[in-house]
Amino acid sequence: MRLVLFTAAAASALSLSGPARADPRLDEKVYDPFVERRVGEIEVRQGSEFGGPLGGADTAVLEAEYGVSDRVSLALVGAMGRAPGGEERFGSLGLEGVAWLGQVPAIGVDTGIYLEYSRGFSGQSGGPEAKLLLAKTAGRFQGLANLILERPLGVPRGEGYASYGYALSATWRTKGAFRLGAEAFGDLGSDRAFGGRQGAYVGPQVKWAGRPKGLPFEIELDAGWLAAVGTDSREGRTQARLNLEFERKF
């Protein structure tokens, strides 16, 4: 019941506000719902597009997060982006929060909610965004799913419609701290046309987490190479994604 209320509240809040950042979702990552109290984290991630009309587009994101309790973390996040053939510009600055809601006992799925409000710069749109975060861990396997709802502000009249998307990851722990698997980022539609044939980027993923000897913090690495499928294949060919996190408990 609490999960339903949180999700409904987030959706209602977004429906009152303005299209989401267009596909490809280069600024996205697959979030998990877990929160650690008094853990600070600095994350740098980069997404780049290769081939097709969108070839040359890229986005860089810097995120600083802190776990204020066992259930809630807050973060400041900024993004820079470059359109194909254009110059790199500061795109947005936002405040985000992640709340762990609990585990669904019958199926062992951990749940959480993600809320962000960003302000756009250099002609980019900002606005609210919400995600339902799901995680299932079983032995060496971990599956993550994010259901995304976003609606930008400051856009031309008639373009302020909500859009829906997803981010998925499925990995298996292989040897040591390495995890191998696959991830996908895609669209589900918008207020104008939900469902139907949509675009996505899908490909292999590798993760590693550990604390190198002599360092006071843990490092997490997440890399993927994704291919465009569906309608996205008309505009792009492949994407390279790299996330690097530095984490420490205070």
Amino acid (1-letter code) at residue 223:
A
pTM, full prediction: 0.86
Question: Using CB atoms within 10 A of its CB, is residue 72 exposed (0-12), middle (13-18) or buried (19+)?
Answer: middle
Taking the C-alpha atoms of residue 136 and residue 140, their distance in angstroms, rounded to an integer, is 11
Looking at residue 99, its pLDDT comes to 98
Residue-level pLDDT at 157: 67
C-alpha to C-alpha distance for 126 and 153, rounded to whole angstroms: 6
List 8's β-bridge partners, or say none. none
What is the pLDDT at residue 66? 98
Amino acid at 213: K
Number of H helices, E strands in the chain: 1, 12
Q: Write down the pLDDT at residue 147.
A: 97
Identify the pLDDT of residue 155: 64
pLDDT at 20: 33
Q: Quick check: 5 and 99 in contact, CB under 8 A?
A: no
Whole-angstrom Cα distance, residue 227 to residue 182? Answer: 11
Q: For residue 110, give both structure tokens.
A: 């951990």
The mean pLDDT values, 10 residues at a time, for the chain of 250 residues are 38 35 71 97 96 93 97 97 90 95 96 95 84 97 96 70 92 94 93 80 97 92 96 92 96
